[in-house]
Amino acid sequence: MWRLVLALLCLQLGEGLVRIPMRKGRSMREVMRDNGVPEGFLKGLKGDPGRKYLLSNAVAYEPLTNYLNSFYFGEISIGTPPQNFLVLFDTGSSNLWVPSTYCQTPACENHAMFNCSLSSTFSDIGVTYTLRYGFGDLSVVLGSDTVTIQNIVVKNQEFGLSLDEPSNPFYYLDFDGILGMAYPGVGISGYNTLIQNMMQQSQLTEPIFSFYYSRNPTYNYGGEVILGGVDPQLYTGEVLWTPVVQEFYWKIGIEEFSIGPSATGWCSQGCHGIVDTGTFLLTIPGQFMSAFLQQLGAEENDDGYVVDCSSVPSMPTLYFAISGAQLSLPPSVYVLNNDGVCSVGVESTYVSSTNGQPLWILGNVFLRQYYSIFDIANNRVGFALSA
């Protein structure tokens, strides 16, 4: 009887939710190496992932360094009749853009391209803007059209149609575009984000979305984006809620960081962390990177920050103190094993938070351990241990 009640309860909680399955693509490193791109070019792409969060009135910074390692993407449609695109669902940016037939570069032609002449609901806005990547600029022109995600239909949604995409590295990306899910303040001024329009057009059951990343991802199933609520079957235990400290990105407070039982004191004056589904690695403030690697016994080479695979079970667990609770990352989660080469899934940033606090980026490496809930109405993020 209790099993039946529980099943009915879970079914009821799941009603009205929109699930977008995410695939786990090959890393851009793998794709480029398979296409004979020299290792030296990959090294040239390495940059500071924190530049993504530097605000500018004219330019949105979204360095593709974040996508060198791995990424998860799902399908949306734009236009009438619908044209399908694979996009990265990115809580670290706010704009929606896809390749278009305006663009004649090989990078665009190697992907699905939006053809506005084939859509009866397309409207031209004509405003152009630039996404600057440090190793090449992506130019887009704004238009509006109907965006469909499963049974969610958003009308008159502004989005970017690419005008120019450099072949390196865009040609090698498995996904077509990016769907930003951060706050409107980091979007293009004067235009609604897709999340804003979903709420204004009553397309979300609740003003909440959530992410689940499988610990054993495949191309066909890497996890799910859930629009309009949460799925209790995808996590265990209680949800830890923590407030957003600045309504641009999904930025939260971090009170302490520990390596094993030892608190580092690195956040004694307060740290900030951006919960970013568009970043794969765990990003550490640059001033702490050397000490961090030393304590883990990692050495840097062409494969990253490498450790002996046989030592992984005895490596320390990492702990983030958030809202008075300790969120743990065991070495089985933060150490990546690629064909027998074990590397620590971290990178560094020298970008600080707004008031100078050390900035961490909690990317997919962190989010595979924790189901993440983004509560728009209450400006808070929830974490629960992934099922």
Q: Would you please indicate which residues are annotated as catalytic (active-site) residues?
A: 90, 276
- Pairing relation of β-strands 83-90 and 177-180? parallel
Is-contact 241 382, C-beta < 8 A?
yes
CA 233/CA 10 separation, integer angstroms = 7
| Location of structure tokens 């500071």 | 48
Strand partners, 271: 254
Say whether 194 sits in a helix, a strand or coil: helix
Say whether 12 sits in a helix, a strand or coil: helix
| Location of structure tokens 């924790």 | 370
CA 60/CA 211 separation, integer angstroms = 24
CA 359/CA 350 separation, integer angstroms = 8
Is-contact 200 155, C-beta < 8 A?
no
Strand partners, 273: 252, 360
